[in-house]
Amino acid sequence: KTVPVLTIDGPSGSGKGTISRLVANRLGWHYLDSGALYRAVGLAAAWSQVDLSDAEHVAACAERTEIHFETGEGGAEPRVIVNGKDATHQLRMETAGAAASAIAALPAVREALLDKQRAFRQPPGLVADGRDMGTVIFPDARHKVFLTASAEERAERRYKQLKDKGVSVTLDGLLREILARDARDAERAVAPLRPAEDAVRIDTTGLPIDEVVARVLALLPER
Ligand code: C5P
């Protein structure tokens, strides 16, 4: 019997990360933060001064980069160790997001990360969070969700998140970055951000977190 997968895709700030972690925790399933893999590769490439548009070298970097997640308690954000260094804080910065989005457009990089992502599918189940979890990485997933929220609300969430972490940003700057990243992610030729045909869409604008978690869990009748 195949290991069940719940994919949760959507744009940045749609609440994917928070919702996926909480749902994985409630189900007792593993959690894949695929965005963190792209961010880690972007960061590792920058560390070794690889040109982010150099597909061959960035893909080699993706193959080599060692990424470990140290799972947090009760759905807390895990620490992410990249090539032996704790990169948790750096990974959340907008610079890492922009680097991730740049290297994520390279087919060779996506290819290099394919097996790394599928390796997270372990019993009793996996919640996979990203952009192409339901379309490319786990097209056979039993359950697929596509989360959205207005760009303004997503910018506000990111703003709060970063401010809580002591990162200084402006709401306006974030909104512009989010819109630019959305456009890049939706328009790229490989694995563009789009809902799988069989995904259930949930608009999280104005919805409290526990309501979204409840709606996602309601999709898994066998629980
Ligand atoms: O979700 P997160 O904001 O951490 O993702 C960072 C970037 O990584 C995204 O903007 C996107 O370009 C890329 N990404 C991707 N495919 C995924 C996850 C993330 O292309 N499955």
- Give the pLDDT confidence of 98-117 residue by residue, as tens digits: 899 899 999 999 999 999 99
**Distance separating alpha carbons of residues 177 and 5, to the nearest angstrom:** 31
Of 223 and 176, more confident: 176
Cβ–Cβ < 8 Å for 76, 70: no
Kindly provide the b/e burial profile for residues 98-130, where b requires at least 16 CB atoms within 10 angstroms of the residue's own CB: bbbbbbbbbebbbebbeebbeebbeeebbbbbb
Q: What is the mean pLDDT of residues 195-219?
A: 96
pLDDT at 25 over 70: yes
CA proximity to 213, closest of 127, 96, 87? 127
CA proximity to 192, closest of 201, 200, 184, 204? 184
CA-based diameter of the chain, in Å? 49
pLDDT at 223: 59
pLDDT at 211 over 90: yes
DSSP class of residue 121? -
Of 13 and 218, more confident: 218
pLDDT at 44: 95
Q: Give yes or no for residue 18 CB within 6 A of ligand 1.
A: no
CB proximity list for 49: less than 8 A, separation 6 or greater? none
**Distance separating alpha carbons of residues 40 and 62, to the nearest angstrom:** 9
pLDDT at 21 over 70: yes
Q: Give yes or no for residue 39 CB within 6 A of ligand 1.
A: yes
Q: Give yes or no for residue 13 CB within 6 A of ligand 1.
A: no
pLDDT at 183: 87
pLDDT at 74: 65
User: Using one digit for the tens of pLDDT, what is the confidence trace for 105-148?
Assistant: 999 999 999 999 999 999 999 999 999 999 999 999 999 999 99
Tell me what the pLDDT averaged over the chain comes to. 92
How large is the C-alpha radius of gyration of the chain?
A: 16
Helix (H, G, I), strand (E, B) or coil at 52: coil
CA proximity to 156, closest of 178, 140, 171, 134? 171
Distance from residue 208's CA to the centre of ligand 1 (Å) = 23
Supply the pTM of this predicted model: 0.91
- The answer to whether 85 is annotated as binding is no
- Residue by residue, DSSP assigns 10-41 as --TTSSHHHHHHHHHHHHT-EEEEHHHHHHHH
Least confident of 66-75, 78-87, 98-107, 127-136: 66-75
- The answer to whether 35 is annotated as binding is no
Q: Give yes or no for residue 132 CB within 6 A of ligand 1.
A: yes
Q: Give yes or no for residue 131 CB within 6 A of ligand 1.
A: yes
Q: Give yes or no for residue 33 CB within 6 A of ligand 1.
A: no
Q: Whose CA is nearest to atom 13 of ligand 1?
A: 101
- The answer to whether 72 is annotated as binding is no
pLDDT at 186: 83
Q: Tokens 């007792």: give the residue.
A: 28
Cβ–Cβ < 8 Å for 14, 204: yes
**Distance separating alpha carbons of residues 28 and 46, to the nearest angstrom:** 35
Distance from residue 161's CA to the centre of ligand 1 (Å) = 17
**Domains along the chain?**
5-217 (3.40.50.300)
172 pLDDT tier (thresholds 50, 70, 90): very high
Q: Whose CA is nearest to atom 9 of ligand 1?
A: 101
Q: Whose CA is nearest to atom 1 of ligand 1?
A: 35
Q: What is the mean pLDDT of residues 55-59?
A: 96
Which value does ipTM take for this structure?
Answer: 0.96
Tell which atom from ligand 1 comes closest to the C-alpha of 185.
12
pLDDT at 75: 61
Q: What is the mean pLDDT of residues 150-159?
A: 92
Query: Is residue 26 exposed (0-12), middle (13-18) or buried (19+ Cβ within 10 Å)?
Result: middle
pLDDT at 92: 86
Residue type at position 151: A
Distance from residue 35's CA to the centre of ligand 1 (Å) = 4
Q: Give yes or no for residue 117 CB within 6 A of ligand 1.
A: no
166 pLDDT tier (thresholds 50, 70, 90): confident
Q: Which residues pair with 33 in a beta bridge?
A: 129
